[in-house]
A and B are shown apart, each in its own frame.
Chain A
Amino acid sequence: MKERIIELLSAALPMVDLESDFLFSELDSLGVTTILMLLSEEYGIELEARDATPKNLKTIDSIVKMVEEKLAK
């Protein structure tokens, strides 16, 4: 899943360093929205504003964790 998410996000956000430990600080509002939209479409999960927290979007691993938790619900 991690590889697929990196593939998806790097195509849509080429300027963002997805390996960063401070991913959220690298993003602008467009970046956050793009991540929410791509992940909700790819995995059929419902993502909302309250999911777009600095904690959930801190690293690519925390994004993977967020998707896994949504899928488990």
Chain B
Amino acid sequence: MILEERIEYFAKVVPDKAAVICDEQTISYSCLWKHIQEKAQQMKEDGVCEGKPYVFLATQDADFIVTYCAVHVCGAVAIPLERSTPTERQQQIINETKDFSFASGTSDILYTTGTTGLAKGVIISEIAWQANAENLINRLGFTSDLLFIVCGPLNHLGSLSKIYPTLMMGGTLYIMENLKDLNAFFSVFELPFTKFATFLVPSSIKMLLQFASKELVAVSQKIDFIETGAAAISQHDMELLCQILPHSRLFNTYASTETGIVCSYEFSEYGCQPGLLGKPMKHSSVRIDENGRVVCSGKTIMSGFVNSSDLTAQVLKGCEVYTSDIGSLDEKGMLHLLGRKDDIINVGGYKVNPSEVEDAVQAYENIQDCICIPAKHIVLGTVPKLLYVPKQGQVVKPKDIADFLKGRIESYKIPLLYEVVDAIKRTYNGKLDRKAYK
């Protein structure tokens, strides 16, 4: 309730101040709090109650904020899902969470592929959200006069985590569906605010640098800070961004749904170095285990996975989250990320488990065999590529496979590149030989 208590507070002290702007509509703090209360009342009448899960789609608008907060006001657990989540998967999640016994203080369940490579629900407590928010407020400097532009999916930690510090400091959120209309993105800077900030994954930064450097220069005086994360940003892009935005603070953050927001490095101030994520923030600690894995602890970490005590025991040992990231700590205590320990493909910040893609493709009747591998893409850097063997006499076009996968797996998991091959390499015991494709 930390977020909702702050919205209620600002509704009293600055009732007319803009809390959320979306679709050319501005919602003040007093209106937002009123909508939240009304929605919560309606939910209670519909049976939403303390400790029970509430599954809903993360629409990219003010309604999402209202619903998300109303769930918390009811004392229920918010489970926002990506908008493209297939109906069957939604029902599966409803079934797997409806009888789960949530500990007191549980806030949300976020579904992710992150650390383990398996799609599962990460339990996040109110304490973790508060710690994440304080980490961000302290390191990035959220203030009441800031307009924060959210242009990524709100079911994802990267964007959802920004609601907290922005609204907890009495700032203003601007919600965009995505970044595809760059003109719409730049028109936000015409609003009467003096300080703007946003979170952009590295592929979005690359896109802006390539196609909108003039527009970035034009608004450079207004950009207070940009935070990136979720995937590796190149040194070239960091340096170019520093040149174009000499007045802005630019951060590279280390975070995951399981660990929370752990480290952030201001590369505009201290120098551009790929993989350098800085020192742990106020509520976080990092160590490297004997296998080189990054291990995180502190108030921001998850409480566990839904319905998976085995998986929880593998990742959450005592008060520490064992990530799949390989890293090192330098003499100043700064974290350097070196790579991943598993086969997960990082697509612009989204984690794709190739096995999940292959399982979905195998259900297509004209495919004999397939493997999903990482491949280079001109925009995203890395994307899933499907190598496949059609059944004898069958012609299978990439679009046939992509259409088949729509509605079966989330859209970001659908391979963007395809290649027909004669055979898929397997090991002596029949397993996919992933190393042969690296």
Residues of A within 8 A of B208 (CB): 49
Q: Does B379 interact with chain A (Cβ within 8 Å)?
A: yes
**Are the C-beta atoms of A15 and B402 separated by less than 8 Å?**
yes
A13 and B416 contact, CB distance less than 8 A = yes
Which of A14, A24, A32, A52 has its CB near the most chain B CB atoms (within 10 A)? A14
Q: Are A15 and B414 in touch, CB under 8 angstroms? A: yes
CB A54 to nearest CB in B, in angstroms, measures 7
Query: Which A residues lie within 8 Å of B379 (CB)?
Result: 30, 33-34, 37
Q: Which residues of B contact A31 (CB under 8 A)?
A: 180
Q: Which residues of A contact B300 (CB under 8 A)?
A: none
Instruction: For residue A64, give the distance in angstroms from its CB to the closest CB of chain B.
Output: 19
Known: A30-B379, A37-B210. A49 touches B186 (CB 8 A): yes
Interface residues of B toward A: which range? 20 to 34
A73 interface contact, C-beta 8 A:
no
Select A30's contact among B183, B215, B380, B406, beta carbons within 8 Å.
B380
B202-255 interface (Cβ within 8 A of A): 203-204, 207-208, 210-212, 214-215
Cβ–Cβ contact A30 & B348, under 8 A: yes
User: Bound state CA distance, A52 and B398, in angstroms?
Assistant: 26
Q: Identify A33's interface contact among B186, B207, B411, CB under 8 A.
A: B207
- B182 beta carbon closer than 8 Å to chain A: yes
Contact with B along A21-55 (1 / 0, CB 8 A): 00010011111111011100000000111101110
Partner of A48, one of B204, B211, B403, B418: B211
Is B418 in contact with A14, judged by CB distance below 8 angstroms?
yes
User: Contact at A14–B378, with CB atoms within 8 Å?
Assistant: no
Residues of B177-215 at the interface with A, using a CB-CB cut-off of 8 Å, are: 178-183, 186, 203-204, 207-208, 210-212, 214-215
Tell me the bound Cα distance from A27 to B214 in angstroms.
24
Q: How far is the CB of A39 from chain B (nearest CB, A)?
A: 11
Please report the C-alpha to C-alpha distance between residue A30 and residue B280 in the assembled complex, in whole angstroms.
Answer: 32
Q: Pick the contact of B378: A27, A38, A53 (CB < 8 A).
A: A38
Nearest Cβ distance between residue B380 and chain A, in whole angstroms?
Answer: 6
Q: Are A15 and B183 in contact (CB under 8 A)?
A: no
Asked whether B211 lies within 8 Å of A33 as measured between CB atoms, the reply is: yes
By CB atoms of chain B within 10 A, which of A30, A31, A54 has the most? A30
Is A71 part of the binding interface, using a Cβ–Cβ cutoff of 8 Å?
no
Contacting residue for B181 out of A10, A30, A37, A52, CB 8 A:
A52
Contact-residue bracket for chain A: 20 to 34
**Interface pair A50/B183, CB less than 8 Å apart:** yes
CA distance in complex: A40, B154 (Å): 32
From known contacts A28-B180, A32-B180, A34-B379, infer whether A48 and B207 are also in contact, taking CB-CB under 8 Å: no
Asked if B212 and A48 make an inter-chain contact with CB atoms under 8 angstroms apart, the answer reads yes
A27 touching B180 by the CB < 8 A rule? Answer: yes
Instruction: Give the distance in Å from the alpha carbon of A14 to the alpha carbon of B414 in the complex.
Output: 10
Most interface-central of B180, B210, B406, B416 (chain A CB within 10 A): B180
B302, chain A: closest CB distance, angstroms = 28
- For A32, what are the chain B residues with a Cβ–Cβ distance below 8 Å? 180-182
Q: Is the CB of B215 within 8 A of A49?
A: yes
Residues of B within 8 A of A10 (CB): 399
A30-B348, A33-B379, A34-B378 known; A15+B211 contact, CB < 8 A? no
**Docked CA distance A47–B408 (Å):** 35
Q: Which residue of A lies closest to B206 (CB)?
A: A33
Query: In the bound complex, do residue A14 and residue B402 qualify as a contact, i.e. CB atoms below 8 Å apart?
Result: yes
Q: Give CA–CA (A29, B412) in the complex, Å.
A: 12
A35: min CB distance to chain B, Å: 10
List A contacts of B406 (CB < 8 A): 15
Nearest B residue to A52, CB-CB: B182
**CB-defined contacts of A36 to chain B, threshold 8 Å:** 210-211
User: Contact at A29–B210, with CB atoms within 8 Å?
Assistant: no
Decide: A14 near B210, CB < 8 A? Known: A29-B179, A52-B182: no
Chosen A-B contacts, 7 in total, with CB atoms closer than 8 Å, are A14-B402, A32-B181, A33-B207, A33-B210, A34-B378, A48-B211, A49-B183
**13 other A-B residue contacts (CB within 8 Å) besides A28-B180, A31-B180, A38-B378:** A12-B378, A14-B398, A14-B402, A15-B406, A15-B416, A29-B180, A30-B203, A33-B207, A36-B210, A48-B212, A50-B215, A52-B181, A52-B211
What is the interface of chain A, defined by CB distance below 8 A to chain B? Answer: 10, 12-15, 24, 27-34, 36-38, 47-50, 52-54
